């Protein structure tokens, strides 16, 4: 893996070794993928689930990578896993290395390979079905595969997709984004909540509530509220499904974008417009290196559908 080796560290020797003894041998792509999953999830258990590995296997792979580099990448001394300064610097390099590897593979594939479009939730909202149908009509030889991947970049930084529909601010290294459109925000409440009978709500109406926050791929944080009326309680979840279950169970209320109404109807959850919350930008993201040749045509089609 010469590209990743150059980008990451001269300490990655070319000799081979078995298992995860990377300290005495070669750092492989799987070590980088494992570290990036931990860095993005900030949790070894969730990283293991994402990678479909056991937690001990993920811990061993991380330890092997740290031995190979001779630096500590992850701080395990706190209640919440955090990257060390060296880990934060290495995350950028590892992301670039994995993306370069994926792009190298893509270049060797047929130009008519499927175009993989990632999303973490709600895809393109009401434009999703028209997008898929019109793409199939215009490009029957290039299948458009829509993939839901529960992380902030919907698998883009890991090379699992060619482009991604993302909501909110995206600041991952090595990505470029283009604004497609914006969506208004809505509140999601249990159906038996006293506020559920109203026509609309303001942020102040939710001040004394517990807020469900999707910390992996969501766009809402408690900073959405002005400091004087900011809620004091929150429940964190890792994906849209858990977010909906938490709200339906009456444990919290949530805030999302209007696309969620059509894409994620759920028994026991009602959606109400929010009158004073800023809109959510929807962007198409891609890596800043040559990728699938059909991405520009996809961008143009989404713009055409969304603004027609």
Are residue 154 and residue 209 in the same domain, yes or no? no
Are residue 268 and residue 290 in the same domain, yes or no? no
Are residue 178 and residue 208 in the same domain, yes or no? no
Q: How many domains does the chain have?
A: 3
Report the pLDDT value the prediction gives residue 11, as an integer from 0 to 100: 36
Are residue 47 and residue 60 in the same domain, yes or no? yes
Q: Which domain CATH number covers 68?
A: 1.10.10.10
Rounded (to 5) percent helix, strand, coil in the chain: 40, 20, 40
Are residue 207 and residue 273 in the same domain, yes or no? yes
> Could you count the other beta carbons within 10 Å of the beta carbon of residue 78?
7
Report the pLDDT value the prediction gives residue 107, as an integer from 0 to 100: 60
Are residue 37 and residue 103 in the same domain, yes or no? yes
Q: What are the Cα distances from residue 139, in Å, to 131, 163, 165, 291, 296? A: 12, 17, 19, 18, 13
Q: Which of 169, 115, 174 is nearest to 146 (CA)?
A: 115
Q: Which domain CATH number covers 125?
A: 3.40.190.10
Q: At what angle do helices 29-41 and 85-108 cross, to 10 degrees?
A: 130
Q: What is the DSSP letter of 254?
A: E
**Rounded Cα–Cα distance for residues 62 and 80 (Å):** 17
Are residue 239 and residue 285 in the same domain, yes or no? no
Are residue 169 and residue 196 in the same domain, yes or no? no
Global pTM reads: 0.70
Residue 66, C-beta contacts closer than 8 angstroms, at least 6 positions apart = 72, 73, 74
Provide block-wise average pLDDT over 10 residues at a time, the chain (308 residues): 36 39 69 89 87 91 92 82 89 80 64 85 95 96 94 87 94 89 97 96 97 93 96 94 97 97 95 97 91 92 94
Residue 154, C-beta contacts closer than 8 angstroms, at least 6 positions apart = 118, 119, 120, 147, 148, 161, 164, 165, 166, 217
Are residue 178 and residue 190 in the same domain, yes or no? no
**Rounded Cα–Cα distance for residues 274 and 250 (Å):** 19
Residue 77, C-beta contacts closer than 8 angstroms, at least 6 positions apart = none
**Rounded Cα–Cα distance for residues 225 and 70 (Å):** 43
Domain range enclosing 45: 2-107
Are residue 211 and residue 273 in the same domain, yes or no? yes
Contact 77, 19 (CB under 8 A): no
């Amino acid at each position: 893996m010469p590209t990743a080796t150059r980008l990451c560290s001269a300490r990655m020797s070319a000799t081979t070794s078995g298992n995860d003894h990377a300290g005495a041998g070669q750092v492989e792509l799987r070590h980088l993928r494992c570290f990036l999953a931990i860095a993005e999830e900030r949790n070894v258990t969730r990283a293991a689930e994402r990678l479909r590995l056991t937690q001990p296997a993920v811990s061993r792979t991380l330890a092997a990578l740290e031995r190979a580099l001779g630096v500590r990448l992850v701080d395990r001394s706190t209640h919440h896993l955090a990257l060390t300064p060296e880990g934060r610097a290495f995350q950028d390099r590892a992301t670039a290395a994995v993306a370069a590897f994926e792009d190298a593979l893509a270049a060797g594939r047929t130009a008519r390979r499927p175009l993989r479009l990632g999303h973490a939730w709600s895809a393109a909202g009401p434009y999703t079905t028209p997008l898929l149908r019109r793409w199939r009509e215009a490009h029957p030889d290039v299948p458009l595969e829509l993939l839901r991947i529960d992380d902030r970049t919907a698998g883009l930084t890991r090379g699992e997709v060619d482009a991604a529909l993302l909501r909110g601010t995206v600041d991952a290294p090595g990505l470029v984004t283009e604004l497609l459109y914006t969506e208004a925000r809505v509140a999601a409440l249990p159906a038996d909540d006293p506020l559920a009978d109203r026509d609309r709500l303001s942020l102040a109406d939710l001040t004394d509530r517990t807020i469900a926050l999707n910390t992996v791929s969501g766009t809402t944080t408690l900073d959405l509220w002005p400091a004087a009326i900011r809620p004091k309680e929150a429940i964190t979840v890792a994906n849209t499904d858990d977010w909906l279950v938490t709200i339906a169970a009456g444990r919290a209320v949530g805030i999302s974008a209007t696309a969620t109404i059509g894409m994620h109807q759920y028994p026991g959850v009602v959606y109400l417009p929010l009158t004073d919350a800023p809109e959510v930008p929807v962007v198409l993201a891609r890596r800043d290196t040559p990728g699938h040749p059909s991405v520009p045509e996809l961008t143009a089609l989404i713009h055409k559908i969304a603004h027609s």
